[in-house]
Structure 1
Amino acid sequence: MPFSSKPSEPIRQLLAGIKAFRARYYERRSDNMRQLVTEGQHPEVLLIGCSDSRVDPALLTMAEPGELFVVRNVANLVPPYQPDGAYHGTSAAIEYAVKSLNVSEIIVLGHAQCGGIKGLIRLRAGQVSDDDFISPWVSIAGSALDPYVGPEGTEKGRADAEKLQQTPEIIERAAVRASVDNLMTFPFVRERVEAGTLNIHGWWFDLGLGEMWAINPATSLFQPVD
């Protein structure tokens, strides 16, 4: 069995954190947690974030238990609607949040220094990858590169992509827009957006400065959030 009998220091720290969480929410604020148990969850917000350990949505937003329904994946990507019977974890989470939980807000949260987006840029620059899952996954955001990079497989495309490795935030933000567009390919999302019962937001977090940027619906450009 692949289990260790002696917890490592990282595991001990996590267990200590669980004890602190239990003391804060179950001993001091037991009514709130009891209500979440007996009445179920009713979050108003679905947040699609990156798996990056530096950008935890609940910590970043100071959200309380029950306030956010979160799905995280490499590069905070939303795939297009594709009901083909295959495994679609992110799409399943979107469907559950919208159709079962009736969330009224969806946020796609990107961030600076995203390893997944850097990998996407490297692929367009012609660098070979030997991974099994990451490259096909980040290719979902391939359209984010198109306005900035020449045709794939060309010298211009590779040269443009190499330059973008110095300014990946351009593609990080463009990938958020691509995911917002992909959300609208889900019929149940589009239906609610057009009915005015669901709003979609594109956010990008500057990891170095701690600033949040959001897409301005009027201009489709990212602007700092006050």
Structure 2
Amino acid sequence: MPLNDLAPRVAGLNEWYRLHSATAVLTHALTAPEAGKLALVSSFGAESVVLLHLVSVIAPATPVIFIDTELLFTETLVYQQELAERLGLRDLRIIRASAAEIDQADPTGTLHRHDPDACCALRKSAPLARALDGFDGWITGRKRYQGGARESLEFFETEDGTGRMKVNPLAHWSREDVQTYMTENRLPRHPLVAQGYPSIGCMPCTSPVATGEDPRSGRWRGQQKTECGIHFVNGTAQRIGENA
């Protein structure tokens, strides 16, 4: 959709839905013809089950994109398989960097040790950019309570330079809301959460978090890097913020 058409529509949607629930926002995104073709991008991480469950109730045939960096915990891969089956997700798309790309840029599998940004670009950003080609937008699990630039997050956004819309149904949820929803709906937790991993990424770059530490302190511990999320600026994948 042309950007000059998308921006006013997104502004109108935010005004209309500003006092509505996550379910209402997600229902519009998944069922309204004018929303176009959307995909849910999910890491199947610590809080992902909430949005996956909502999608499975509203529109279980929604494409769900899962990026397998081939450096994930075994627990994440097993959780992804079990959760997709339990929720009845009908269009799960597992994407990866090609073997040729890995052989060229990371033949020893050690790129994450000396250039974690390049590793994220290779194994996550580039595959997702290809996977989103042809979609009119995508759904994220980002929330205002996660801080930083997300503190003013809206339900609907325009994505710079791509003509796509981003939908953040859980933008106004608190951490307590997330936990309550999981409990009330008896949703399975990622097994690593009970082992001290409140934020879960790739195995080499994630460590347990001690009591009192920031939940994301176990990601790239000891490095300046703190985020691996994906956004697009002028059509190019950028690592700005976390993709939930």
TM-score by length of 1: 0.31
Structure (1 or 2) with the larger CA radius of gyration:
1
Tell me: higher relative CO, structure 1 or 2? Use CA pairs within 8 A at least 6 residues apart. Answer: 2
More strand by share: 1
